[in-house]
Homo-oligomer: A and B are copies of this chain.
Amino acid sequence: MFSKTCEYAIRALIFIAQKTKDGDRIGIKEIAKGIDSPEHFIAKILQDLSKKGILQSAKGPTGGFYLDKASRKQSLASIVRAVDGDKIFQGCGLGLKQCSETKPCPIHHEFKKVRKDLLQILENAKVGALTDALENSMVFLKR
């Protein structure tokens, strides 16, 4: 569904949101452990995303990654868009060059609904809102 890169990115962002509620910062090593991802790989992903303003970072001692107020209100959809683009939200399910209402593929009408549902889920899921469930161990970022 999503690329590996994108999966790691979402997990990481939620993890960071939980760990930096009180203005703390968190290092790359701890993030990698916390979401069970390759350290160098997630490092690169987060660096790209911080350039794009999806999350914040600080160098030096006491440095690390964190999320400001605005970033916390962000939806998972915007993360997906930043990483994988919007192919998943707009592209044709059967790989036609362009999804089109007037020249649809055989599953266009049904597929459109799935895409829309998926988009809605991701739009509604705000990064900062998922931390409570995490702390109560109702959901997990690794297993």
How many chain copies does the complex carry? 2
**Given the known A-B contacts A8-B95, A140-B96, A143-B97, are A106 and B121 also in contact in the complex, defined by CB atoms under 8 Å?**
no
Q: Nearest CB to that of A100 among chain B residues? A: B143
Chain A: interface residue count, which band?
Answer: 35 or more
Contacts from A to B (Cβ < 8 Å): 1-2, 4, 7-8, 10-11, 14, 76, 88, 91, 93-98, 100, 103-108, 110-111, 113-114, 117-118, 121-122, 125, 130, 133-134, 139-143
Provide a sorted-by-A list of 30 A–B residue pairs whose CB atoms are within 8 angstroms. A1-B88, A2-B93, A7-B93, A7-B94, A7-B95, A11-B94, A11-B95, A76-B107, A94-B141, A96-B141, A96-B142, A100-B143, A103-B140, A103-B143, A104-B139, A104-B140, A105-B139, A105-B140, A105-B141, A106-B125, A106-B130, A106-B134, A106-B139, A110-B121, A113-B117, A114-B114, A114-B117, A114-B118, A114-B121, A117-B117
